[in-house]
Amino acid sequence: MKLGLISLLGSFAAASPAAYGHSEYEYVIIGSGPGGGSLAANLARAGHSVLLLEAGGDDGASLLQQIPAMADIVSEDSAMSWSFFVNHYQNETQARRDSKYTYRLPNGTLWYGLGPPEDATPLGILYPRGATVGGSAQLNAMNFALPPDSDWDDIVELTGDETWNSENMRRYYIEVENCTYAPEGTAGHGFNGYVASNRNNITYVTDRPGVVEVSQHAFNATEGIDVESAEEVSELLQRDLNRDDPDRYAPGLFQLPLHIDSEKRRSGSWVYLHETLTAKCANGKPRYPLTLSTHSLATRVLFKKGHDGKPRASGVEYLKGEGLYSADKRYDASESGHLINVTASKEVIVAGGAFNTPQILKLSGVGPREELESHGIPVVVDLPAVGNYLQDNYEGGVTVEASVPWENNPFANCTFTLQPDDPCLQEWETSHTGPYGEGAAPLGLLYRSSVSETEHSDAFLFGAAGVVFRGYYPGYSTDTFPPTSWFWSVVKMQTGNQAGTVTLRSADPREAPEINFNFFAEGGDRDLQAIQEAVEHTLRIFNATRAPYSPLMIVEPHPGVDMKQAIMDEAFSHHATSTCRMGPAGDKNYCVDSEFKVNGIDGLRVVDASIFPRTPGGFPAAPTFMISQKAFETILKSRKHSG
């Protein structure tokens, strides 16, 4: 089943259940990202009636979402993303040392930086999330790296459930993946799944002498390999990070695996959903019983008392309307939407992501008793784990400027305006080639610090010449940087910090929650040490670079500040997880059991990145697609056993 892509001429016109006269479904799923969207399509293809609620619109056919190189721009698009503002620290003085810290001025405009105007209202750090069919995987950088096998095996140890072992989880990856870069039949890869995987154009490394030289120094510093030619650089970079090998997280340099298809378009649950929604029987009727309702903001899960007195999820209440959520740039408090109730005869599945899943559960009466009662929310189940244990991969940027521009920049003539005279758009549209088909970064690097918990790497770096990525702030997606720039972003794995929180500001479902990651509050010394060592590793690589590129000027971490302090000041993150973490069944320090069931409630599961006990690997996209596939199998088995 190799999936084609829906025509770019338009997208499926989703309707509310009322438009079809339906108010009851077997499954109601909240959230259409890698967790919920994929699961909805799978359940419908298995013959179950499914209502999929998405708070955003259906814009997957837009060029902004289709073109990989537009990832940054789409993440700030008001119609497709939500702009959360989060705190990194409890200490306000430390929090505001970040040059990306954002404020709102009295005239409503946003201002970021150090030394704000006296009348500015502090907001925090911008944290974009997808508000569109397909979720945040429609606006991410498309990294599709698998986590280390040990991340899955740790779940087995925690829950006692052997089905989470790394070998079994590889099976779900094979079911999900449609690999386009490895020879068909390569062990450990899938070739018939609904998420295409690909890699960037290797010539955008090998045709750039300066990039080749830095790569040669990176191979030497990281692996002890002396690489003599661009051809050898190419060969080594194409080693497969997602290969079926328990040692694939050994230190090294490589190309990043990406969820991009063979025609250089973003791939994800949007494609699968639309294949499912548009499939027809011979008589022209829909082939699968899937209903997609967009602009549908879930407000709470509804419950009834089960036969044994235990609460059972029976449906969902939601608001129909555009821009109803305060994180939406189009938000208008006077627009209240239309309230709709739907019934789920089998299960409700929450897949709103690490920020919205705990908010929905708490608004439904599932969460810490004291917090719920403080907002006048009747308690259905006292579950302290909901909204706690928020985690993420720290990122620390390393930016330098060379003495001369890095030559042969493939993006040099791109306008990023999507106008007909854009030569890069013309190339992408006519031949499915060119720089607009590039995702994430051309280089990835695994580094093992002295404080790694395992024999494998605990830092995942990605880098590129001629651009800079230092985190999120208003307007970041359209900033320009000198062609002499080079950045490495250090993604810290094996996070030691589980101290983040997502808490309600009020009982109003339209108000975004308060989010504080409490950076470095737990395990901070170890995490800072690992990031510092990775930063120093990249600086050694740069220091080995010869003229005409050298000498190179360090821009970040700021050379005038103690390195660990500089890392703390500018650290950021964008892989939030674990606010409804998985653990032993019935233990209220955990939100769900190993079958995704919410503790203390029947008929309610969570299937998104919020369930990970610990942030997996360096990038959560692939693991989230995998757990969605596992949830599908788990649900079908439970239905079979229950009759």
Residue span of the structural domain in which 423 resides: 203-237+395-494+520-570
Predicted confidence band at 4 (pLDDT cuts at 50, 70, 90)? very low
pLDDT computed for residue 79 by the predictor: 97
pLDDT computed for residue 640 by the predictor: 81
**Whole-angstrom distance, CA of residue 255 vs CA of residue 464:** 12
pLDDT computed for residue 365 by the predictor: 99
Q: Summarize the confidence of residues 557-583 as an average pLDDT.
A: 97
- Residue 530 belongs to a domain: yes
Greatest pairwise CA separation for the chain in angstroms = 77
CATH of the domain at 68: 3.50.50.60
Phi/psi for 272 (5° steps) reads: -65, -45
**Whole-angstrom distance, CA of residue 356 vs CA of residue 22:** 26
Identify whether residues 89 and 117 lie together within a single domain.
yes
**Whole-angstrom distance, CA of residue 168 vs CA of residue 170:** 5
pLDDT computed for residue 308 by the predictor: 87
Q: Summarize the confidence of residues 372-378 as an average pLDDT.
A: 99
- Segment 434-471, tens digit of pLDDT: 999 999 999 999 999 999 999 999 999 999 999 999 99
Q: Which of 304-313, 431-440, 491-500, 590-599 has the lowest mean pLDDT?
A: 304-313
- Residue 490 belongs to a domain: yes
- Residue 258 belongs to a domain: no
Rg (CA), the chain: 24
- Residue 631 belongs to a domain: yes
Cβ–Cβ contacts within 10 Å for residue 381, how many?
21
CATH of the domain at 439: 3.30.410
Identify whether residues 315 and 455 lie together within a single domain.
no
Predicted confidence band at 163 (pLDDT cuts at 50, 70, 90)? very high
Identify whether residues 125 and 137 lie together within a single domain.
no
Identify whether residues 40 and 185 lie together within a single domain.
yes
State yes or no: pLDDT of 22 exceeds 90.
Answer: no
Q: Which of 9-18, 26-35, 480-489 has the lowest mean pLDDT?
A: 9-18
- Segment 339-349, tens digit of pLDDT: 999 999 999 99
Identify whether residues 351 and 416 lie together within a single domain.
no
Locate tokens 């944290």: which residue? 127
CA-wise closest residue to 266 among 205, 195, 193: 195
Identify whether residues 144 and 123 lie together within a single domain.
no
Phi/psi for 525 (5° steps) reads: -60, -45
- Beta-ladder partners of 302: 315
Helix extents (H) in 177-208: 203-206
Predicted confidence band at 323 (pLDDT cuts at 50, 70, 90)? very high
- Segment 388-403, tens digit of pLDDT: 999 999 999 899 999 9
Phi/psi for 503 (5° steps) reads: -125, 150
Phi/psi for 341 (5° steps) reads: -115, 135
**Whole-angstrom distance, CA of residue 133 vs CA of residue 274:** 10
Axis-axis angle for helices 621-642, 36-45 (nearest 10):
40
Q: Summarize the confidence of residues 512-537 as an average pLDDT.
A: 98
